[in-house]
C-alpha cells in the first residue's frame, strides 16, 4: 500500500481510516485496516500524511551485532537440538535456529561495540569460534554451508503507541505484531507475540467491532499494553543489562548491578537445566504461554531458582574464555 484513505472524522477531528491505496493505484475499502507490515511499517508517516498526530514512537538501537551462517543437510540428518536454543558465554551468545527444507542457522551474538570480535565476519574465524562451544559446534560441521557469514546490526527495539492524550491518533486502523513493537531477535519472540496480539484483536472485534471505532481503538491499546508491553519492557531491560555485562567481560570488571530482576534472571539461567520444572517455566514464558508471575506461581519454585542459582557460574554452559576465543579467531 502507498497511502491511507479517510472518511468522516469520528474522534474530535482526528481521521477515520476507511481503506488503503495500493501501489497500482487501486483503492481497497475496509471496515478495519490492520497494519501487519513489520518493524519498518510506513504507517506512522502515512497517518501524518492524512492529518493524524504521529504515534508515540519509543525506539533504541538494541546494541548487538549478530553473525549468522545458514546450513543445509546433505543426507536429511539434522543437528541435535540442545535443550535450550540460546546460551550466554563470556562476551558471546550462541543461537541455534532450525529451519525448513532441512536447513538451519547458527548465530553468534556480540556487542556492537566489540571491535575485536568483528573478525567473526570471516568464515574461517566463525567456524573456529563455533568449534569452541560444545553445545553448538556440530551445528557448524553437519551438512554444508549455503551462505557466508551474514552480519546484522543496527536493529532497533521499538514500541509504538497509537493513543495520545487519551485519544486515538486515528480510528479504523490498528497495528499488530512487529508493526506495533519489535524486540531483540536473539529471543525469537516476534512470531509468538504477533500471534498473541492478533488473538487480542480477534477477541475485541468480536465484542466491540469496527462499528464502534473509537471504543475499539482504545480497548485494543489498553489490552495490548496490559498483555504485551511488559514483555517488551522486560526484554529491553535485558538488552541494557547484557550489554553492560559484556562491557564488564571485555574490561575485566565484573558487572554486579543491584537489580533484583536481572539477578533473578541470572539465577534462572544457571538453574534452568538443573530442574525440569524451572525449565518448563522458562519455556512457557519464552513462548508467551504464560507470564513470569504465572510460570513461577508453583509453591517453592522461586526459592528453588535462587537456591540452585546462588553461587553458580554466570555462564553455566561450556565454552571458552574471551582470551581463548580471541586467540582462536586470530590464528
Contacts of 98 (CB under 8 A, 6+ apart): 78, 81, 104
Which residue, among 122, 240, 114, 219, has the nearest Cα to 168 in the 3D structure? 219
Q: For 213-271, how does the pLDDT look when each residue is reduced to its tens digit (9 = 90+)?
A: 999 999 999 999 999 999 999 999 999 999 999 999 999 999 999 999 999 999 999 99
pLDDT of residue 70: 98
Q: Render the burial of 112-146: b for 16+ CB within 10 Å, e for the rest.
A: bebeebebbeeeebbbbbbebbebbbbbbebbeee
182 forms beta bridges with 158
Provide DSSP, 48-98: HHTTPPPPEEEEEE--EEEEEEEEE-SSS--PPPPSSSEEE-SS-EEEEEE
CATH top-level class of 3-57+158-231: alpha beta
Same fold, 3-57+158-231 and 61-152: no
Ordered by start, the domain boundaries in the chain are: 3-57+158-231, 61-152, 232-330
- Which secondary structure element, helix H or strand E, spans residue 304, and what is its range? helix 301-309
Q: Render the burial of 190-202: b for 16+ CB within 10 Å, e for the rest.
A: beebbebbeebbe
Contacts of 96 (CB under 8 A, 6+ apart): 79, 81, 82, 85, 104, 105, 106, 107, 136, 139
Series of mean pLDDT values for 10-residue runs along the chain (331 residues): 86 89 93 96 96 92 95 94 93 96 97 96 97 97 96 91 94 97 93 96 95 95 96 94 96 94 96 96 94 96 97 92 97 75
Q: For 196-216, how does the pLDDT look when each residue is reduced to its tens digit (9 = 90+)?
A: 999 999 999 999 989 999 999
User: With contact defined as beta carbons under 8 Å apart, do 269 and 93 qualify?
Assistant: no
pLDDT of residue 10: 66
Give me the CATH code for the 61-152 domain, please.
3.30.70
pLDDT of residue 11: 67
Exposure on the CB side of residue 272, measured as CA atoms within 13 A: 25
Amino acid at each position: 500500500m502507498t497511502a491511507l484513505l479517510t472518511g468522516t472524522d469520528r474522534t474530535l477531528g482526528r481521521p477515520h481510516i476507511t481503506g488503503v491505496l495500493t501501489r497500482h493505484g487501486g483503492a481497497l475499502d475496509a471496515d478495519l485496516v490492520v497494519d501487519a507490515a513489520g518493524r519498518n511499517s510506513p504507517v506512522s508517516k502515512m497517518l501524518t500524511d492524512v492529518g493524524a498526530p504521529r504515534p508515540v514512537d519509543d525506539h533504541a538501537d538494541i546494541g548487538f551485532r549478530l553473525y549468522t551462517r545458514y546450513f543445509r543437510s546433505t543426507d536429511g540428518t539434522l543437528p541435535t537440538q540442545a535443550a535450550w536454543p540460546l546460551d550466554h558465554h563470556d562476551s558471546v551468545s550462541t543461537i541455534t535456529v532450525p529451519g525448513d527444507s532441512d536447513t538451519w542457522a547458527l548465530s553468534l551474538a556480540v556487542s556492537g561495540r566489540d571491535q575485536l570480535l568483528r573478525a567473526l565476519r570471516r568464515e574461517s574465524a566463525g567456524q573456529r569460534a563455533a568449534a569452541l562451544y560444545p553445545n553448538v559446534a556440530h551445528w557448524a560441521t553437519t551438512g554444508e554451508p549455503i551462505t557466508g557469514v551474514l552480519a546484522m546490526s543496527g536493529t532497533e527495539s521499538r514500541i509504538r503507541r497509537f493513543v495520545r492524550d487519551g485519544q486515538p491518533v486515528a480510528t479504523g486502523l490498528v497495528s499488530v505484531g512487529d508493526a506495533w513493537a519489535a524486540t531483540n531477535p536473539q529471543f525469537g519472540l516476534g512470531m509468538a507475540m504477533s500471534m498473541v496480539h492478533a488473538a487480542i484483536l480477534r477477541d475485541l472485534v468480536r465484542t466491540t467491532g469496527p462499528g464502534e471505532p473509537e471504543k475499539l481503538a482504545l480497548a485494543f491499546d489498553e489490552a495490548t499494553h496490559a498483555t504485551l508491553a511488559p514483555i517488551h519492557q522486560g526484554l529491553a531491560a535485558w538488552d541494557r543489562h547484557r550489554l553492560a555485562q559484556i562491557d564488564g567481560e571485555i574490561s575485566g570488571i565484573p558487572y554486579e548491578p543491584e537489580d533484583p530482576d536481572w539477578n533473578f534472571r541470572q539465577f534462572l539461567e544457571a538453574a534452568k537445566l538443573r530442574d525440569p520444572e524451572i525449565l518448563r517455566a522458562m519455556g512457557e514464558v519464552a513462548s508467551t504461554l504464560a507470564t513470569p508471575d504465572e510460570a513461577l506461581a508453583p509453591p517453592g519454585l522461586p526459592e528453588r531458582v535462587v537456591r540452585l542459582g546462588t553461587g553458580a557460574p554466570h555462564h553455566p554452559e561450556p565454552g571458552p574464555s574471551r582470551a581463548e576465543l580471541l586467540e582462536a579467531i586470530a590464528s
